[in-house]
Amino acid sequence: MPEQVIQAAKHTIQPRITKVAEDQFERTKKKGEVFTPAWICNLMNNQCDEEWFGRKDVFNIPDGQFWTVTPPPVIFPKKKTWKHYVDSRRLEITCGEAPYLVSRYDASTGEYIPPYHRIGILDRKIRVVNENTKTFEDWFKWVLRSFQSVYGYEYQGDNLLIARVNLLLTFTEYYTERWQKEPEEKEILKIANVIAWNLWQMDGLKDTVPFGKPYEEFQQLSLYGIFAEEESSEVEAVPCRIYDWRKDNSMLFMNIKKEGQ
């Protein structure tokens, strides 16, 4: 419930950089958390875009731990348009606070990054939308499609909430910068609904909701070398569902991998 989240945020739900060093170390040791600096996220996102565009330095030019933003507009290759780029689907696995999707701040230092200098996958899509739309209707339509095209899953509930907050605040910041006003509630709710579907809590080893049916570390072999039937459990595994916004239907995440997509 909202009041529980607000209460927890005072003590527990905080970006990693605001936690004391001891807490950060414990999270890294016990939960395997690694928070990647923005300059590394930028290099990896640049590599993805180099593959998509067929050339280097499309959105910025890296220089050590810094980067210089390329002047607008972004030029697209033959047979590909800015709409193709916006609709291209990307997934950040074990996303933590989602530094590859949005870069409101450097996850390793906490330093705020202005919108113009951001390097996240969604940030790049919104830049393209800003450069290619003139009316509010077109802008909102394609920003919404940008959000529908990015996905991320995370095991830890507090990190997931922060990731969702980062995406929602990213929307409000770009909205305010472009239109010099706050977004309306109906617009926020549309974006929030997409975020709630596209950033979800999942055990990435099993593609299920965390704390469902536990993994069996050992399986008993029968005399014939065949795995014995699994004992029934009161806690059943719950497979995670995501949404395909272009087809307008939900599906099991594990089925996507089975289909080799």
pLDDT digits (tens, 9 = 90+) for 128-150: 999 999 999 999 999 999 999 99
Look up the pTM and report it. 0.84
- Better pLDDT: 142 or 258: 142
| Distance, CA of 97 to CA of 165 (rounded, Å) | 9
> Mean pLDDT score of the chain, rounded to an integer?
88
Rounded average pLDDT over 51-70: 97
Identify whether the C-beta of residue 100 lies closer than 8 Å to the C-beta of residue 166: no
For residue range 152-209, list pLDDT tens digits in order.
Answer: 999 998 899 999 999 999 999 999 999 999 999 999 999 999 999 999 999 999 999 9
Residue 3 is predicted with a pLDDT of: 81
User: How many Å from the N-terminal Cα to the C-terminal Cα in the chain?
Assistant: 36
Q: Given this model, what pLDDT does residue 231 score?
A: 46
Comparing CA positions, the residue from 48, 80, 245 lying closest to residue 147 is 245
Query: Rounded to 5 degrees, what are φ and ψ at 197?
Result: -80, -45
Q: Between the CA of residue 11 and those of 18, 105, 161, what are the distances in Å?
A: 11, 21, 14
Q: What's the pLDDT score for residue 107?
A: 87
Judged against a pLDDT cut of 60, whether residue 247 lies above it is answered with yes
Q: 180: burial class by Cβ within 10 Å (0-12, 13-18, 19+)?
A: exposed
pLDDT in tens, 198-242: 999 999 999 999 986 555 555 555 555 544 444 444 568 899 999
Q: How far apart are CA 19 and CA 12, in angstroms?
A: 9
In this prediction, residue 15 carries a pLDDT of 73
